[in-house]
Structure 1
Amino acid sequence: MNFYKFVTSVLRCFSNVFYKYKVIGEENIPDEGNIIIAANHKSNLDPIFLASAIRNREVAAIAKKELFKIKPLGFILNKLNVIPINREKPDVSTIKNILRSIKDGYVLGIFPEGTRIKEPGFGQAKAGLSVFAIKGKAQVVPISIISNYKLFNRVTIYIDKPISFEEYYKQKLTTEENERLAQNVLEVIKENYYIHSK
């Protein structure tokens, strides 16, 4: 068992022991092909719940670079395929690393809002999700994380069907157009969130 599988099995155990953890739509993560998973983000527990939900592929997540300065967290993040990013101004090498991870068969994990949204509701999607989906020729799988994050309460991970961006592969889109496409994915995440919160 490699380090990634070992850690995710521990995280899955944590999720099942301390929460009423349930995954719906696991079959919607394709076994192969370029894939990005996009989820809402309200808690530091979200990456744990996401990693626990994806069993058939290894996830390469994006995290703010400041986390890598914390020892030994930085070492562990590197071992778990996590890509550091300057959220204010991503550099070219970071973008290349992200696109390479997609090409290498990892499932890229993104929070479209770009940061945690602690208050009720959702933020606005950033352009990055659409940019990476188009440049990486990847389908996007919307995932809704539904929880109040209190111990022993319900956590539902709802995985919807992949969304194709293929019609935009040869187009040169503006930042506003990329934001709109990313927001469309976030709207699917929001709809599923509210439906399955009932």
Structure 2
Amino acid sequence: MNFYDVVKAIATPIIRIFYKIEVLGAENVPMDEPLIFASNHKNNLDPFLIGAFMPRNVCYMAKKELFKNKLVGYILNKLNVFPVDRNKTGASTIKVALKILKSKQALGIFPEGSRIKGSELGKAKAGTAMLSIKGKARVCPVSIIGNYKLFSKITLYIDKPVSFDEYYGEKLTSKDYEDISQKILDIINMNMKNLA
């Protein structure tokens, strides 16, 4: 059992003490291909929930400042988290994300790019579609439904994976990628409203 699995085994029951977690659609997750979990992002706990309750181990990107502390950086690395400069998401970040997908791992991403408070979702950034298309990976839309009040219910709904293979090899603009990413966000939003 690796470090990630140990932490997951410890974290899952602890989270369940504070929240009633319901996971729907786990059967929709392909286990042996590159995959992107794309979810809405309202709370700092979102990546922990995805990491703990998805049927596959998930790699996440996090702001590089978190890695300045050597111990924290070591732990984050062991948890499949890699640093990103939020002010300039450069080629190196994309390269690492694509390397993860190339090795048939699962990548977690927030299509909105950052936390969006309130009941409505934000607009999709280009990243989800770009990584899906360049990494030839399907996207599982994940809707996180709940308000994170202690002891309340939080539902994670995993929809069937979406493929953008019709765009493989196409020359696309940033706007194209944003529009394609928005399709994933629309699915997440629809499922949130249907299950609320």
**CA RMSD after TM alignment:** 1.2
1:165 corresponds to: 164
Secondary structure at the counterpart of residue 134 of structure 1: helix
Encode CA deviations 1:9-31: one digit per residue, 9 max, x unaligned.
Answer: 12211221211111000011101
- State how far apart, in whole Å, the 1-side matches of 2:121 and 2:68 are: 29
- State how far apart, in whole Å, the 2-side matches of 1:89 and 1:145 are: 28
Preserved contact between residue 33 and residue 105 of structure 2 (Cα < 8 Å): no
What is the Cα deviation at residue 119 of structure 1? 2.5
Encode CA deviations 1:36-55: one digit per residue, 9 max, x unaligned.
Answer: 01000010110111112213
What is the Cα deviation at residue 168 of structure 1? 0.3
- State how far apart, in whole Å, the 2-side matches of 1:124 and 1:90 are: 18
Aligned-partner residue type, residue 49 of structure 1:
L
Preserved contact between residue 38 and residue 142 of structure 2 (Cα < 8 Å): yes
Residue 68, structure 1, aligned to residue 102, structure 2: no
Aligned-partner residue type, residue 16 of structure 2:
N
- State how far apart, in whole Å, the 2-side matches of 1:9 and 1:190 are: 30
Aligned-partner residue type, residue 158 of structure 2:
I
- State how far apart, in whole Å, the 2-side matches of 1:123 and 1:8 are: 30
Change (3 A) 1:2 1:90: same
1:40 corresponds to: 40
Preserved contact between residue 146 and residue 156 of structure 1 (Cα < 8 Å): yes
Preserved contact between residue 130 and residue 181 of structure 1 (Cα < 8 Å): yes
1:155 corresponds to: 154
What is the Cα deviation at residue 74 of structure 1? 2.0
Preserved contact between residue 26 and residue 53 of structure 1 (Cα < 8 Å): no
- State how far apart, in whole Å, the 2-side matches of 1:188 and 1:70 are: 38
- State how far apart, in whole Å, the 1-side matches of 2:121 and 2:69 are: 28
1:110-149 equivalence runs, <5 A: 110-149=109-148
1:1-198 equivalence runs, <5 A: 1-55=1-55, 57-70=56-69, 72-197=71-196
Preserved contact between residue 61 and residue 109 of structure 1 (Cα < 8 Å): yes
Preserved contact between residue 22 and residue 157 of structure 1 (Cα < 8 Å): yes
- State how far apart, in whole Å, the 1-side matches of 2:45 and 2:89 are: 24
TM-score normalised by length of structure 2? 0.96
Secondary structure at the counterpart of residue 194 of structure 1: helix
Encode CA deviations 1:57-115: one digit per residue, 9 max, x unaligned.
Answer: 22111212222224532221111111211223212222111100111121010001110
- State how far apart, in whole Å, the 2-side matches of 1:67 and 1:28 are: 33
Is the deviation greater in 10-19 or in 62-71?
A: 62-71
Structure 1 runs not aligned, ≥5 long = none
Preserved contact between residue 139 and residue 162 of structure 1 (Cα < 8 Å): yes
Secondary structure at the counterpart of residue 11 of structure 2: helix
Secondary structure at the counterpart of residue 109 of structure 1: strand
